[in-house]
Amino acid sequence: MTTPQKLDRILDCIGIGLGPFNLSIAALSDEEKTHLKTLFLERKSHFSWHPGLLLSDAKMQTSFLKDLVTAVDPTSPYSFLNYLVTQRKFYPFCASGQSVISRLEFSDYLGWTAHQLPNTQFGCDVKSVAFEQDHFRITTDKEVFNSQHLVIGTGMQPHVPECIQPFVSETCFHASELALRSPDLTGKRVAIIGGGQTGADIFQHTFDKQFGKPTHIEWISRRANIEQLDEGCFTDQYFMPDYVNQFYQLDSSNKQQEVSHQKLASDGVTSDCLQGIYQRLYHDKYVLRNPRWWKIKTHQSLISSRRVNGQYQLDIQHGLTKQVETINADIVILCTGFNHDLPQCLDELRPYIMTDEQDRILLSSDYCLQWKGMKNNSIYIVNSGTDNHGIAEPQLSLAAWRAAKIINHLAQDSVYELAEDDNIIDWGDLTFKPEKHLAAVSSL
């Protein structure tokens, strides 16, 4: 490794990570408009969006209008509509009648934006961040940068249940690696663990023999059934600025209660995807009358696992009867979600970061991490979990609005108009003393 070169100028803000959320901030940070000098660093050599899950027939869960910029700046050159026009596919797109687009196309739009922005740098892995008097020093594998503020957009880390961690290998892996590994499933017994959207996408693509024809597929879900995403228009009110602002004001236990009631508003399978799967299964079982080569098991949790004679033995327990059953598989694909941990590059700052009694980070309504040097140096965090701002946080719906909010705070100016409309629903007066829980913490 070459010694990182030190750059002396201090930028206004450095973004770490270039997924859609920091990309939205980068796209809205035009220097002429914001008077901010920004730079966004990404470890990958070029833009890619969850490349291991970019399956050929996977669809978005959100509208293409909820792109990087449109909600706060519809005249931005980085809108999805401008992407369609400049790629010369606007009219064909309109004729396609799609209300929900493929992840492949959205990913292409994100990459198109990322590689034309002047404030992005790829192939730049941030190794550490230190605080020096009045600025952050950001050390990457190539250069050292200085910045007054930071915005962390490093995404989430794959979650692998403890009971199967020792067996993670070529044949037992997290779903986020599937398309990158492109395994040959021909003649194999495949176990898919996890009944959310990722489990459904992988079941569908495995059933469609995208990776060869397995002899058997077993799809295991802890949930009581294969559960549909709640896409109702009233449910969509949770993904609006007004609700997020109101939610933010709740105290921690009410927040937890609200989020657990809202699970299927963000964590279910789209109705289109479910119907597609159901119709395939119906055709296979009742029309073609194929011998059964797939099983869907709900209410089952993976509780332990072993590797015996080259195959996996997975113990699953029924949530109601508590009966334990063992299934055998050659390939195990873990659709077991993601964790929201702080990235390793922030380790040096950790002693200064304030947390609540459950060791969770605390964010201001403007997404600033509460840390001991925060007076003139902000650390913004996007996609930090649902604890502070609710279920919209890990989702694309409010990415542009959140980005604009962060930029206004960074610029100390109303660069973007954020007049938040009244919601259809009257949520009651959740307002109270502004930032009451943070006040309690900062008095420590």
Name the residues that contact ligand FAD, by CB under 6 A: 16-22, 41-44, 49-50, 53, 60-62, 125-126, 153-155, 343, 345, 382-383, 394-397
| Chain-centre distance for alpha carbon 34 | 27
Nearer to ligand FAD by Cβ, of 17 and 183: the residue is: 17
Closest CA to 200 of 293, 248, 259, 267: 267
Nearer to ligand FAD by Cβ, of 110 and 314: the residue is: 110
Dump the DSSP string for 286-321. IIS-PPP-EEEE-SEEEEEEEEETTEEEEEEEETTT
Nearer to ligand FAD by Cβ, of 5 and 442: the residue is: 5
In whole angstroms, how close is the CB of 100 to ligand FAD at the nearest point? Answer: 8
Nearer to ligand FAD by Cβ, of 189 and 405: the residue is: 405
Return d(Cα 23, Cα 20) in angstroms, integer. Answer: 5
CB-based contact 39:11 (threshold 8 Å): yes
In whole angstroms, how close is the CB of 293 to ligand FAD at the nearest point? Answer: 26
3-state SS string over 122-189? CCCCEEEEEEECCEEEEEECCEEEEEEEEEECCCCEECCCHHHHHHCECCEEEHHHHHHHCCCCCCCE
Return d(Cα 117, Cα 15) in angstroms, integer. Answer: 13
CB neighbour list of residue 43: distance below 8 Å, 6 or more residues apart: 17, 123, 124, 125, 126
In whole angstroms, how close is the CB of 18 to ligand FAD at the nearest point? Answer: 6
Characterize the bridge pairing of strands 379-381 and 143-152.
Answer: parallel
Q: Phi first, then psi: what are they for 212, rounded to 5°?
A: 95, 165
Return d(Cα 313, Cα 306) in angstroms, integer. Answer: 5
Nearer to ligand FAD by Cβ, of 360 and 437: the residue is: 360
Nearer to ligand FAD by Cβ, of 127 and 297: the residue is: 127
In whole angstroms, how close is the CB of 262 to ligand FAD at the nearest point? Answer: 14
In whole angstroms, how close is the CB of 49 to ligand FAD at the nearest point? Answer: 6
Nearer to ligand FAD by Cβ, of 82 and 154: the residue is: 154
Characterize the bridge pairing of strands 135-140 and 120-121.
Answer: unpaired
SS3 368: strand
In whole angstroms, how close is the CB of 132 to ligand FAD at the nearest point? Answer: 19
Cα radius of gyration rounded to whole Å, the chain: 23
In whole angstroms, how close is the CB of 176 to ligand FAD at the nearest point? Answer: 7
In whole angstroms, how close is the CB of 387 to ligand FAD at the nearest point? Answer: 15
Nearer to ligand FAD by Cβ, of 21 and 371: the residue is: 21
